[in-house]
Amino acid sequence: VFEQLMLCFVVLSHALAVVVEVNEGETSVLLPCQHSSIIPDDLTVMWSRCDLHPKSVHLQQEKRDNLTGQNQHYRGRCPMKTDALETGDISLTLTDLQLSDSATYTCSVKDTMIGQRRVTDVQLEVKGQQQTPAVGLLCHYRQYFMSGECLLLHNP
């Protein structure tokens, strides 16, 4: 029974992952995140990338942006909605997309009552211009669905 519960948890946690695909050079993309609980006055919203230093992509404290510790790669490129804390829509808009933006972004919230908790992870995949090889194997794999597909490409 315990193993079945653990398997169920793993499948559910993978099913909750969000994958967003966009082409390089697009004007913007929305990284979705919703906070459904009652929103306290001291809520802090943190968007981060664990593979960067500093990790901070965007930080909003006391209903204001606090960008002092923000990674320079995101300077001026990631606004949050001004009414985010009133609506619970704490999604992040990322502008001027680059291939190097491909990564997993974590949306977390923190307050004095519950402490810090992760709300969601968003896997952003920025696609460059694709060139078709003369012969090749194209595989598309989604870990969180635990499935994949492969196509044999041939260009005479």
19: helix, strand or coil: strand
- Residue type for 107, please? C
Percentage of the chain beyond pLDDT 70 is 72
CB-based contact 148:142 (threshold 8 Å): yes
Tokens describing residue 63: 């209903």
Fold classification of 17-154 (topology level): Immunoglobulin-like (2.60.40)
Better-predicted residue by pLDDT, 137 or 80: 80
Q: Which helix (H) or strand (E) holds 138?
A: strand 135-142
Distance, in Å, from the CA atom of 74 to the CA atom of 48, rounded to the nearest integer, reads: 11
At 59-105, the pLDDT tens digits run 998 788 999 999 999 999 999 888 887 888 999 999 999 999 999 99
The pTM for the full model equals: 0.70
DSSP E strands, 37-134: 44-48, 56-61, 64-65, 92-95, 103-111, 115-127
Predicted local confidence at residue 46, as pLDDT: 94
Write the CB contacts of 131 (distance below 8 Å, at least 6 apart in sequence).
none
Binned at pLDDT 50, 70 and 90, residue 130 comes out as: low
Give the span between the Cα atoms of 129 and 7, in whole angstroms. 38
The pLDDT, as a whole number, for residue 17 is 66
pLDDT of residue 118: 87
